[in-house]
A and B are shown apart, each in its own frame.
Chain A
Amino acid sequence: MNLEIHDVSKNFGGIQALSGVSLSVEGDELIGLIGPNGSGKTTLVNTIGGIYAPDRGEIFLDDRPVGRLKPNQVAKLGVGRTFQVTRAFRRMTVMENMLVPAFAVTPDKRRRELEARAQEVLEFLTMDHLRNDYGRSLSGGQQKLLELGQLLMTDPGLILLDEPFAGVHPKLMETIFEYITTVHAEGKAFIIISHDMSSIFTLSQRLLVLHNGELIADGPPDEVKQEPQVIEAYLGEEDEEYV
């Protein structure tokens, strides 16, 4: 799936969250999106996902303008996303959580068929034993996995992950790594927001850096992390760990 963002701006009551952002994602790229807190990363993902309409500019999915579409319409076009704070449906079982996106995006498929697919995905995520548990009874990490599982139910072409590694223990991080690499190998494009520098540099083929709503760098991780503008804006000139 190809994503084109042309000169997108978004303002919230005088705060310029995005300012003339332009970029493109082609085919099955795995892209990291970094930037300091408040730099506009989540706003960009929300704008791609249809939660916000851009004040200016346009977003294209496979050459189709989608900037004014609603989130459900964007989801049906093949964009899946997770949230910074997990938003599993808490008073619904894990299986019901899996079926919601499947029914919504593929209404022509039968329930039995979708339940079988959900079972496969839950086994892949080692969560099949929790299928009858409520979302609220899962740990934070399990809820993150559940959100990732929900994405697979709709077979999206572009997956937007907002802080997938935040607050997870090393074992779960391994599972999320495996998820991303396996799903990416199937030809899906990813845009991953993360503050975990080690993970994002390891995973990403390309890195985008936002600062004060502007895209200040775009390129291979090894090149981007050497750019003085990025070092200054994102981590500070004296950050030895980053360098």
Chain B
Amino acid sequence: MSSMGRIRFRIEWAVAAVAVVLALLVPYVIQSRGLPTYWLHVIIIAYFYALLSSSWALLAGVAGQFSFAHMGFMAIGGYASGLVGKYLGLPPLVTIVLGVLAAGLAGWAIGALVLRFKAAYLALFTIAFSEILRTLIRGEADITRGDQGLHVAPLFGETISRVPYYYAMLAILVVCLALMYVLISSRVGLFLRAIREDEEAAAARGVDVVRYKILAFVVTSLIAGLAGTFFAHYITILTPNIMVIPQMGLVIAMAIIGGVESLMAAAIGAIIIQVGLEVLREFGAWRLVIFGALLVLTLRFARNGLIAPIFNRVLGLGPKAEARVAEEAPAQ
């Protein structure tokens, strides 16, 4: 790693460490200020979306695979965990592992099927996959309980406190973000970015495109599956509505507004938007108009999102050409 790279790496980890310490204090702050514990729930859900948004950013922003199947993998994790728990009576910790593995297996299968697909074809294929899966879950109501909802055992028994769930979700988010950062900081990350830039040129330079594209799908579907299993055992009821296309659109919008090429920015974008939508709840439908306008403006004027440039410019990080390139880059 170059000296600039090392400095960037250290500053990023330092920023992350400070963010984690602040996050650890959230339940205390909510309690000490007498805020409703509902806000803890809002932040747990924000972390859930941050996990989905950052892992989608790894798949789409780093590896260049613009997939709409991410919420499908999340649902596979949640439903697999819930169904195994319901029919086999296994404890949540075991079913979570099985749910994550089921999502990873689905990610491997989809990754292998879409190897030659690019851009619109990949998007259409993964939309079709998600819709087929959703229809299947709705249709097989005898097994999945369809729209009535599948009841899932709570992760922490009958406790009504949200604090254990908060710390569990925070731990999952931090560990997954750290693992994803290790991955993209390694040579694998370099290969994924090369594939994003130009698959054929990457292959001609010796990169095993098939292997690393499938790896990207497997890793991100494992993480989406983990998010799904946690969500299932936290909310304790699952319906096919968790994977409708607008939900996938929300995750994509969060990543784009944060910065699709930066995992941390995508995660922060998701947290800000989820909490922001709750803060603006009194505006009713207008909050969605504000959100939509923010997305449109980001797409038009900030190709790499609103949070990622803050990392690069305010903290003075990144290659010296980064700022210039970002300014020159047209919106895509």
Contact = CB atoms under 8 A, between A and B. Distances in A.
Nearest to A150: B205
Interface size class of A (residues with CB under 8 A): 35 or more
A51 B193 contact: no
Interface string B1-30: 110100000000000000000000000000
Contacts of A182: none
A92 interface: yes
A96 B206 contact: no
Contacts of A92: 190, 193-194, 197
Contacts, number: 99
Interface in B273-329: 319-322, 324-325, 328
Interface stretch (A32-40, A60-68, A70-78): A70-78
Contacts of B116: none
A87 B321 contact: no
Interface centre among B1, B198, B210, B261 (most CB of A within 10 A): B198
A29 interface: no
A95 interface: yes
Given A136-B325, A137-B321, A137-B324, A100 B191 contact: yes
B1 A111 contact: yes
Contacts of A100: 190-191, 194, 202, 205, 207
A132 B206 contact: no
Interface SS, B side: helix
Interface stretch (A17-25, A102-110, A186-194, A226-234): A102-110
B208 interface: yes
Interface string A104-130: 110100010001000000000000000
B308 to A, nearest CB: 13
B206 A72 contact: yes
A115 B2 contact: yes
Interface string A165-178: 00000000000000
A215 to B, nearest CB: 23
B330 to A, nearest CB: 12
Nearest to B64: A91
A134 B322 contact: yes
B187 interface: yes
A75 B320 CA distance: 31
Contacts of B4: 132
A107 B261 CA distance: 25
A134 B321 contact: yes
Interface in B193-251: 193-194, 196-198, 200-210
22 contacts: A70-B203, A71-B203, A72-B204, A72-B206, A75-B203, A75-B205, A76-B206, A83-B204, A89-B202, A92-B193, A92-B194, A99-B190, A100-B190, A100-B194, A103-B190, A104-B205, A105-B206, A132-B321, A134-B319, A134-B322, A137-B325, A150-B205
Q: Which 4 A-B pairs have the closest CB atoms?
A: A104-B206, A101-B205, A75-B206, A71-B203
